[in-house]
């Protein structure tokens, strides 16, 4: 029997969705509200529209009150950097600010990535969902008002080069990091360290805490006229809140061991 909120027939639970690129996180939230016919839906960590991957969604007050717990885990991403090109937003959605020659080899890249691991201070980007006086920073930036937030400590636990196309100057990396890390800022920092500039051209979140994208419902199957079929897919994948909380708490308790040797 489905878990329900007291006095309602709403399908309370935690839902893992593989968000397709080109769709905002809030668009996925709205879609779940419609498919599940439930008003209270929130996400445990946003993804930019150009990014894809794991989006953890909480439906019902019983679930949304645990969002902070779900957001606390380590994150894993696959990212593509375009070396030699800097943009206003540090991602593919901004205007090109500069183009530079790229003269790096894989040895230089590996050395650079090794130096980027560990704790560091990171300034949140102007185009981000971080709030300032109740409004996301991007809403100010779109009006030409750039709010600079104080640098915050983040942790890069692992940073690996997966591939480098020296003709297109495209660098593929895998990142394991703490909550609150902006991969586009990391991309810009890598470009600066390599002396050629860079921006984040593609991003995919593969894990958040103990939850992996392999468990997620393909978000493309929830679009269009999915209707009852989309609802059925979600309900089949619904995770009870108690199970999700237990997994998150176990992950947090074991984190000191996981981070000593992340698989």
Q: Are residues 142 and 178 in the same domain?
A: yes
Q: 147-188, pLDDT tens digit by residue?
A: 566 678 999 999 999 999 999 999 999 999 999 999 999 999
Predicted local confidence at residue 144, as pLDDT: 63
How many Å apart are CA 165 and CA 172, to the nearest integer? 9
Q: What angle do CA 126, 129, 130 make, to 5 degrees?
A: 75
pLDDT at residue 112, as a whole number: 97
Query: Residues 100, 171: one domain?
Result: yes
Q: So which residues are the catalytic ones?
A: 48
The model's pTM is: 0.87
pLDDT at 171: 98
Q: Are residues 128 and 244 both part of a single domain?
A: no
Domain boundary residue, one of 182, 204, 226 = 204
Q: Which residue has the higher pLDDT, 258 or 240?
A: 240
pLDDT recorded at residue 3: 44
pLDDT at residue 145 is higher than 70: no
One domain, residues 61 and 81: no
In this structure, is residue 54 part of a structural domain?
A: yes
Higher per-residue confidence, 198 vs 144:
198
Same domain flag for 97 and 162: yes
6 lies in some domain: no
Give me the sign of the Cα torsion angle 38, 44, 46, 51.
negative
Residue 7 DSSP code: T
Same domain, 67 and 185: no
Q: What is the CATH number of the domain that holds 83?
A: 3.30.2350.10
Domain membership of residue 91 (yes or no) is yes
Task: Indicate whether 76 pLDDT > 90.
Answer: yes
Q: Are residues 199 and 214 in the same domain?
A: no
β-bridge mates for residue 173, sequence order: 79, 161
96 and 116 assigned to the same domain:
yes
Q: Which residue has the higher pLDDT, 258 or 116?
A: 116
Determine the structural domain holding residue 169 and report its residue range: 75-204
Within a domain: 87? yes
User: Is residue 60 included in any domain, yes or no?
Assistant: yes
Inter-axis angle of helices 106-116 and 183-194, to 10 degrees? 130
Over 80: is that where the pLDDT of 10 sits? no
Q: Is residue 2 part of a domain?
A: no
Is residue 195 located within the same domain as residue 91?
A: yes
Instruction: Look up tokens 């640098």; give the residue.
Output: 151
Return the CATH number at 21.
Answer: 3.30.70
Count of domains observed in the chain: 2
Residue 188 CA to residue 40 CA, distance in Å, equals 36
């Amino acid at each position: 029997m489905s878990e329900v909120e007291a006095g309602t027939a709403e399908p309370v639970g935690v839902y893992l969705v593989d968000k397709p690129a080109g769709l905002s996180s809030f668009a996925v939230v709205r879609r779940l509200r419609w498919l599940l016919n439930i008003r209270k839906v929130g996400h445990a960590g946003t993804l930019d529209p150009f990014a894809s991957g794991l989006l953890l969604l909480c439906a019902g007050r019983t679930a949304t009150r645990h969002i902070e717990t779900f957001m606390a885990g380590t994150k894993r991403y696959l990212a593509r950097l375009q070396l030699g090109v800097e943009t206003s937003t540090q991602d593919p959605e901004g205007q090109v600010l500069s183009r530079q020659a790229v003269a790096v080899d894989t040895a230089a890249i590996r050395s650079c990535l090794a130096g980027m691991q560990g704790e560091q201070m990171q300034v949140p980007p102007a185009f981000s969902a971080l709030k300032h006086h109740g409004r996301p920073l991007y809403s100010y930036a779109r009006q030409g008002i750039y709010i600079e937030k104080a640098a915050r400590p983040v942790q890069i636990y692992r940073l690996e080069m997966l591939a480098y196309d020296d003709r297109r100057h495209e660098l593929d990396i895998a990142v394991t990091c703490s909550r609150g890390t902006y991969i586009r800022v990391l991309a810009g920092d890598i470009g600066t360290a390599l002396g050629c500039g860079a921006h984040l051209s593609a991003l995919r979140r593969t894990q958040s805490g103990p939850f992996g994208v392999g468990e997620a419902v393909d978000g493309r199957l929830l679009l269009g006229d999915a209707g009852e079929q989309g609802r059925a897919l979600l309900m089949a994948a619904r995770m009870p809140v108690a199970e999700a909380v237990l997994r998150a708490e176990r992950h947090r308790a074991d984190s000191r061991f996981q981070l000593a040797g992340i698989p």
